[in-house]
């Protein structure tokens, strides 16, 4: 296999790949001693990074303060996100550099290039529009937009005036939008008429209209993208282009306190309602800037493409802030990877000479299935670095990506992180390596993690992944209007000691890769094995079982539901539901279809259950807790285990029959 160094260890072939001399030479960081150096004093490390990478209106008085579970970075410092993402580069003479190359889905529609100068003008104009609509510093603004340049403009315009943006994934339903807008108490929503998805126009405005019901949204700004017929309410709804016509291209950036709230991003937790993750300004920007620079080794001549939707944290940090803070040129593609055919992404890479490509394992799995012939049709030789994110990647998918997309020469950096961490926290750096299928790597310099057991003792052979203080600067500062939930979710397991990630992990250095220890100066080399709580990763998207159960239970036929993830070769995991019906209802194929549709409508198409089992009863403990372990084992055909703590052990036999569990 080209490029991979096969290392034979204990008679087992192990794939380990080290960066070439050329990669090392070009890389911003290529000396492994960076890890040790940074670890001696993480606060001093980040302080130096914040000073070097960003322009502050006023320096901080103190770099870090901690009283766990709370912590602050760059206290007293003043900074503005949009100023650092655009103005700074224009001032430095980079105004003509393309910031965004927008690729619409319809292949016949021309792409649009937006330079840093144009981006700055548009951001200022829209910032003035927001002001005119009455948006003030600290106000929350909902953004429900597809992948069009206006999404970047809207986001940066918010941060320019100190408004808090709350972006909602455009494929989420109106109801999902509503719940988020309601919690954030947003007063303005920015959306579009529609967008293209697999050649069809999705009417986004219709969802938006549903999404503002019973919320505090007073005004909607609508981008005309697809030209579809939409309902515009006089005095409430305004066309983006009309508001922008008279707006001035100058707006002073608001000097924000480093710890001022910059954005909210809702994510699924272990409860029925999504949680608003709070990110603040100075620390988030510092981590976004430096992780983008070092992890993607971004240089002035790179063409960078992150395929995430803007509605996820990956979209915020690595499709918007990170690359723009680094004055990079980014690709923004509106549509589906398989339209008009399954090689659309490879065509884009070839056409725009993409050099850095960052995507999710679930997408790669789809391409593996489609076959090697598709990427072969295209010249992908401009690529020099690949990344993955969002879920564990299996060996076969990793190798396919490495060989068929990376041509056996590009490192794959497997970036582990979460909505809560703001930026990636674990990976192998491109100029240092090594790169190994299924292994994420080691903590980013200046950050610490550990694998521990229930008591918090080291458990490298398998345990919970925790973050060790000092907390990285980009970490969440809390959950919006839900402080109890914040303490409980992340800090109740190891109070005042560790941040609990909700992930399981294993240190593979002694077991799989002892030979790399010395060469890479590596102490730990970590494989993330997946969530240990009731959070699912479906095609890389984060969903909570409780959120889906809630949605099921709102259907008139349903009395109770248990949703569990089932391993899936394509999507990683898929939701399967055990549903108890109200009396008078009978399970049928029709009802099953209706429920799938109901979930698609209320939560979004990504949450569609793979299968629904109609059952009479769910297995429960004496305290009334559903025993999910059993429901999972029934699906995976694993051992059912002890059922003695159930109040209704008989139910298991019935369930076995329903799911076809082997005797
Ligand atoms: O389980 C981990 C998984 O995704 C979770 C975080 O999901 P979300 O907040 O949606 O953010 C996804 C994008 C950062 C984590 O708790 N995860 C993320 N990256 C990886 C991963 N699992 C394994 N390997 C990764 N590289």
Per-residue pLDDT tens for 159-194?
A: 999 999 999 999 999 999 999 999 999 999 999 999
Question: What mean pLDDT do residues 563-587 have?
Answer: 93
- Domain topology for 537-659: GMP Synthetase; Chain A, domain 3 (3.30.300)
Which residues, listed in sequence order, are joined to residue 267 by a DSSP beta bridge?
275
Model confidence at 388: pLDDT above 60: yes
Model confidence at 11: pLDDT above 50: no
Question: Whole-angstrom distance between the N-terminal and C-terminal Cα of the chain?
Answer: 44
Return mean pLDDT, the chain. Answer: 94
CB-neighbour burial class of residue 224 (10 A; exposed 0-12, middle 13-18, buried 19+): middle
Q: Which residues contact 129 (CB under 8 A, 6 or more apart)?
A: 157, 221, 243, 244, 247
Model confidence at 2: pLDDT above 50: no
**82-254 and 7-80+263-531 share a CATH fold:** yes
DSSP 598-634: HHHHHT-GGG--SEEEE-S---BBTTS-B-HHHHHHH
The closest-lying atom of ligand 1 relative to the alpha carbon of residue 541 is: 10
How many whole angstroms from 358 Cα to the centroid of ligand 1? 14
Q: Which CATH class is domain 82-254?
A: alpha beta
- Going by pLDDT thresholds of 50, 70 and 90, the confidence category of residue 56 is very high
The closest-lying atom of ligand 1 relative to the alpha carbon of residue 414 is: 26
DSSP 560-575: EEEEEEEEETTTEEEE
Model confidence at 624: pLDDT above 60: yes
Q: Which residues contact 620 (CB under 8 A, 6 or more apart)?
A: 626, 627, 646, 647, 648
Task: Please tell me the distance from the alpha carbon of residue 612 to that of residue 576, in angstroms, as a whole number.
Answer: 6
How many whole angstroms from 182 Cα to the centroid of ligand 1? 26
Q: Name which residue sits closest to atom 23 of ligand 1, judged by CA.
A: 392
Instruction: Answer left, alpha or beta for residue 545, where phi above 0 means left and psi between -120 and 50 means alpha.
Output: alpha
Residue 13 confidence (pLDDT): 47
In Å, how far from its chain's centre is CA 402? 22
Encoded tokens for 200: 């069809």
* Ligand 1 close to Cβ of residue 419 (< 6 A): yes
Q: Name which residue sits closest to atom 5 of ligand 1, judged by CA.
A: 418
Torsions phi, psi for 499 (to 5 deg):
-85, 125
The closest-lying atom of ligand 1 relative to the alpha carbon of residue 427 is: 26
526 or 518: whose pLDDT is higher?
Answer: 526
Residue 611 confidence (pLDDT): 96
- Tell me the residue length of the chain: 663
Query: 539-557, pLDDT tens digit by residue?
Result: 988 888 888 998 998 899 9
Model confidence at 341: pLDDT above 60: yes
The closest-lying atom of ligand 1 relative to the alpha carbon of residue 531 is: 1
CB-neighbour burial class of residue 622 (10 A; exposed 0-12, middle 13-18, buried 19+): exposed
CATH of domain 7-80+263-531: 3.40.50.12780
The closest-lying atom of ligand 1 relative to the alpha carbon of residue 528 is: 23
* Ligand 1 close to Cβ of residue 421 (< 6 A): no
3-state secondary structure of 579: strand
Q: Kindly report the CA angle at 319 between 100 and 524, in degrees rounded to 5?
A: 140
Q: Name which residue sits closest to atom 14 of ligand 1, judged by CA.
A: 418
The answer to whether the beta carbons of residues 230 and 203 sit under 8 Å apart is yes
For residue 541, give Cα distances in angstroms to 133, 268, 304, 536. 33, 10, 22, 8
Task: Please tell me the distance from the alpha carbon of residue 653 to that of residue 663, in angstroms, as a whole number.
Answer: 10
Query: Global pTM?
Result: 0.92
3-state secondary structure of 357: strand
Residue 314 confidence (pLDDT): 97
Question: What mean pLDDT do residues 6-34 have?
Answer: 79
Q: Name which residue sits closest to atom 7 of ligand 1, judged by CA.
A: 418
Q: Tokens 């809207």 — which residue?
A: 154
Task: Please tell me the distance from the alpha carbon of residue 60 to that of residue 47, in angstroms, as a whole number.
Answer: 10
Domain boundaries, the chain: 7-80+263-531, 82-254, 537-659
The answer to whether the beta carbons of residues 564 and 632 sit under 8 Å apart is yes
For residue 126, give Cα distances in angstroms to 35, 191, 264, 325. 42, 13, 20, 19
3-state secondary structure of 419: helix
Model confidence at 279: pLDDT above 70: yes
Question: What mean pLDDT do residues 470-499 have?
Answer: 97
């Amino acid at each position: 296999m080209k490029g991979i160094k096969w290392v034979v260890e204990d008679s087992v072939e192990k794939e380990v790949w080290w960066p070439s001399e050329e990669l090392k030479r070009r890389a911003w960081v290529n000396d492994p001693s960076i890890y040790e150096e940074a670890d001696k004093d993480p606060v001093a490390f980040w302080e130096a990074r914040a000073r070097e990478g960003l322009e502050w209106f006023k320096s901080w008085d103190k770099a870090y303060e901690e009283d766990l579970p709370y912590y602050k970075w760059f206290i007293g410092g003043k900074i503005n996100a949009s100023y650092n993402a655009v103005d700074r580069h224009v001032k430095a003479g980079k105004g003509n550099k393309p910031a965004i190359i927008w690729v619409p889905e319809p292949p016949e529609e021309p792409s649009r290039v937006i330079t840093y100068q144009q981006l700055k003008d548009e951001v200022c104009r829209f910032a003035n529009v927001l002001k005119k609509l009455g948006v003030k510093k600290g106000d929350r603004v909902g953004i429900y937009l597809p992948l069009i340049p206006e999404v970047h403009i809207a986001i940066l315009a918010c941060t320019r005036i100190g408004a808090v943006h709350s972006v909602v994934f455009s494929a989420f339903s109106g109801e999902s939008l509503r719940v988020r807008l309601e919690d954030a108490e947003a007063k303005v929503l920015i959306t579009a008429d529609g967008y293209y998805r697999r050649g069809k126009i999705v009417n986004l405005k219709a969802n938006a209209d549903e999404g503002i019901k019973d919320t505090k949204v007073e005004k909607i700004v609508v981008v005309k993208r697809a030209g579809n017929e939409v309902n515009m309410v006089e005095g409430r709804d305004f066309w983006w282009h009309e508001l922008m016509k008279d707006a001035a291209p100058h707006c002073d950036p608001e000097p924000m306190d480093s710890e001022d709230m910059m954005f909210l991003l809702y994510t699924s937790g272990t409860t029925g309602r999504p949680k608003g993750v709070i990110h603040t300004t100075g620390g988030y920007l510092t981590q976004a800037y430096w992780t983008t620079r070092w992890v993607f080794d971004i240089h002035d001549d790179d063409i960078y493409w992150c395929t995430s939707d803007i509605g996820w944290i990956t979209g915020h940090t690595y499709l918007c802030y990170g690359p723009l803070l680094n004055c990079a040129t980014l690709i923004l593609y509106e549509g589906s990877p398989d339209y008009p055919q399954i090689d659309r992404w490879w065509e884009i890479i070839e056409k725009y000479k993409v050099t850095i490509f960052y995507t999710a394992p679930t997408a790669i799995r789809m391409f593996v299935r489609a076959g090697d012939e598709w990427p072969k049709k295209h010249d992908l030789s401009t690529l020099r670095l690949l990344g993955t994110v969002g879920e564990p990647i299996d060996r076969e998918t990793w190798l396919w990506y490495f060989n068929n997309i990376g041509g056996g020469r590009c490192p794959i950096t497997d970036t582990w992180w979460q909505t809560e961490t703001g930026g990636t926290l674990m990976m192998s750096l491109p100029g240092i390596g090594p790169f190994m299928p299924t292994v994420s790597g080691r903590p980013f310099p200046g950050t610490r993690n550990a694998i521990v057991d229930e008591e918090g003792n080291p458990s490298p052979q398998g345990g919970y992944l925790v973050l060790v203080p000092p907390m990285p600067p980009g970490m969440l500062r809390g959950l919006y209007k839900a402080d109890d939930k914040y303490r409980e979710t992340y800090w109740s397991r190891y109070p005042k000691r560790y941040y609990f990630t909700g992930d399981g992990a294993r240190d593979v250095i002694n077991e799989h890769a002892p030979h790399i220890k010395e060469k890479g100066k590596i102490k730990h080399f970590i494989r993330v094995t997946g969530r240990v709580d009731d959070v699912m990763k479906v095609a890389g998207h984060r969903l909570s079982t409780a959120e889906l159960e809630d949605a099921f239970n709102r259907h008139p036929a349903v009395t109770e539901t248990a949703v569990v993830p089932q391993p899936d070769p394509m999507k990683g995991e898929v939701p399967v539901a055990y549903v108890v019906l109200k009396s008078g209802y009978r399970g049928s194929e029709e009802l099953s279809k209706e429920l799938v549709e109901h979930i698609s409508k209320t939560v979004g198409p990504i949450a569609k259950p793979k299968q629904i089992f109609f059952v009479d009863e769910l297995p429960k403990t004496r305290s009334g807790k559903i025993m999910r372990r059993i429901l999972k084992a029934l699906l995976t055909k694993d051992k059912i285990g002890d059922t003695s703590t159930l109040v209704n052990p008989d139910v298991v036999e019935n369930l076995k029959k329903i799911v076809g569990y082997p005797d």
